[in-house]
Amino acid sequence: MVTSADIDKVVDGQTVPGEFAKTVANNGDQIAIRWRKPDDSWGEWTYKDYADKACRVAAGLEALGLSKGDRALLMMRNRPEFHIADLGALLCGATPISIYNSSAPEQIEYLVGHSKGKIAIVEDLDFLERFLKVRSELPNLEQIVVIDDPDGLAPDDVLSFSSLLESQPVDLHAAVQKSEPRDLCTVIYTSGTTGPPKGVALSHYNVCWTAESYRQTIKIDPTGFRVLSYLPMAHIAERMVGHYFGLCSASEVTTCPDPTLLGQYLPQVRPQSFFGVPRVWEKFYAGVNAALSADPEKQQKFAEAVEAAKPIDEVRRQGKELSEEQRTTFEFLDEVAFKPLKQMIGLDQVKFALTGAAPIGVEILEWFRAIGVPLTEIYGMSENTGPLTWDPYTPKIGTVGRAMPGIELKLLEDGEVCAKAGNVFDGYLDDPEKTAEALDSEGWLHTGDIGVLDDEGYLKIVDRKKELIITAGGKNISPANLENALKSYPLIGQAAVIGDRRPYISALIVLDPEVAPAWAKAKGLSASTVQELASDPDVLAEIEANVADANKRFSQVEQIKRWTLLADEWLPDSEELTPTMKLKRRGVNARYAAEIEALYDKTSPSPA
């Protein structure tokens, strides 16, 4: 069994710039970063190119006064400049901090002020304008740099990113010496489902420790692995997968500037490692099933193939060798049914398919695994630099795997999951009170999640400690389990379960904006928009059938008694959803207060 001390020995003295320098020395000609140009051709940098440009950015930032201990704010989409800007700041001994692109001027004022940001690098004039609106309130912010300003419209005191690249590069090996393992590597600001965001302070040690635990988990050399980076770099999952793991392991990272372009990028990149939040997998699943529904006979045959493949995957999950018959059966199913689909969506070469950041429905997980996409759940949080548990080879469906190498787990009496390891942060930036709530005196991280550990060490997450519904009758109920059950039906895009201190469970339901119109067309309905479909009798009948079917999986007290179908679409990074599509329950409850009260008004007719 690998202990935290074992990994400590491996990462002793390591920093992110130091690991990057090793990658450049050993894999300098390996493609590092790729991006699609406006003419649809592909641009790319090798690791030598990456190093040269990062060293030029570092020189430019140093000339602006950025030095050890300073902080630089980055606000940009997934594009190649992020990587050299982030690493360039690290090569100054400074701390780069990415913030969400949706941040309003008031949020920017808080984040820059709280982090004491000295320099900001923004993507375009839209982002720049948001900074300029609050610049007078940011005395620590000395310089703003803009990447895209083709017409030169930025104020004279705003510098161009291209000017940084014109600098004579710093010496990489000399710059590496400016960072030490316990220095601040980045700050991840929580997306703020409640209250102002907290700044999760992560050190170089935390990042390098996590990267080593990951390598020991996969047990193969990831050099050259194709990775598609599309989630916000302000989120710990993308920061680790699309940035730190890449530069530490010589991955080939393709940047995708907008998650809505994922369907276009995946077939061209064909990643070997791919991380998606549950909504990404749910949309793939719903889209495929909606397309198949246009041909009932084909849909039936595909469903039969999936059912035939599930027992074969179960053998694989147990770590056993397939029999000759099982191997031949799967090869046949893959050739005639699964492979064309995987090639079409770009997942035919994926070796590690991960889902995390929120729960995913068992049906969806089993479906992907049956068709040969090795989807597994990974669990963790920003406060532990991303992952805590993951079992890529022998997963148990319904769990988030076992503790990764070097990580200790325990459950408190109330079931709260606690962890101790080298990836656990030292605290929230300048917030000792919140730090004391998350870290106890023995260094255990209190996750706020309620879990169950089985005899083999597999962890099942029941729910967030603060999100458990306690009904008026005193019953503890997990809303996430009910919401996942609802979202397993193609028509349902999002769901929010209500019931805390209420006499029964109810739900707000939102149609999937991509699946619903296709479903309606296949049924010959005249309604076509989400707004029209939300009141269509056939749609309401289908949702009623879905809710009734989902209720069969739960005890009577847990079942959804009433629901309403909303004529809205919930978008990422909105009042209802975080950037990674977690429910903002407070926002949902506030916006739909009237609809919720109607669900508990005995005089209101049932939406069903």
**pLDDT score at 608:** 44
H/E element holding 22? helix 16-27
DSSP 50-108: HHHHHHHHHHHHHHTT--TT-EEEEE--SSHHHHHHHHHHHTTT-EEEE--TT--HHHH
Q: Which residues pair with 449 in a beta bridge?
A: 464
* Partner residues linked to 255 by β-bridges: 229
pLDDT score of 606: 52
What single letter denotes the amino acid at residue 537? P
3-state secondary structure of 115: helix
The pLDDT value recorded for residue 127 is 97
Measured CA to CA, the distance from residue 222 to residue 225 in angstroms comes to: 5
Q: 463: closest CA among 447, 450, 477?
A: 450
**Tokens standing for residue 30:** 């390996």
Q: How far are the Cα atoms of 16, 216, 560 from residue 275, in angstroms, in the given order?
A: 22, 18, 32
DSSP class of 335:
I
Which long-range contacts (C-beta less than 8 Å, at least 24 apart) are formed by 171-175?
171/55, 172/21, 172/24, 172/51, 172/55, 172/91, 173/21, 175/17, 175/55, 175/58, 175/91, 175/92
Q: What pLDDT score does 193 carry?
A: 45
Rounded Cα distance between 353 and 349, Å, is: 10
**CB within 8 A of 187, min separation 6: which ones?**
71, 95, 97, 115, 199, 200, 201, 202, 429
Exposed / middle / buried, residue 537 (Cβ in 10 Å: 0-12, 13-18, 19+): exposed
Structure tokens of 353? 């398919």
State the pairing for strand pair 95-98/143-146: unpaired
12-25 as b/e: b if 16+ CB within 10 A: eebbbbbbbbebbe
> Do 190 and 382 meet the contact criterion of CB atoms below 8 Å apart?
yes
SS3 state of residue 538: helix
Q: What is the mean pLDDT of each run of 10 residues along the chain (608 residues)?
A: 95 98 98 96 98 98 97 97 98 97 90 97 97 95 97 96 98 97 96 71 98 96 95 93 95 95 96 92 89 89 96 95 96 96 96 89 94 97 96 95 98 94 97 95 94 96 76 73 89 92 92 90 88 93 95 87 94 83 86 93 58
pLDDT of residue 330: 97
What's the pLDDT at 286?
87
Neighbours of 171 (CB within 10 A): 12
What predicted TM-score, i.e. pTM, was given to this entire model?
0.84
Q: What pLDDT shows up at residue 108?
A: 94
Say what the pLDDT of residue 475 is.
65
> Residue 147: left (phi > 0), alpha (psi -120 to 50), or beta?
alpha
> Residues near 494 by Cβ (< 8 Å), separated by ≥ 6?
487, 509, 510, 570, 576, 577, 583
How confident is the model at residue 212, as a pLDDT? 97
What pairing do the DSSP bridges indicate for beta strands 416-420 and 184-189? Answer: unpaired
Helices (H) and strands (E) in the chain, counts: 24, 25
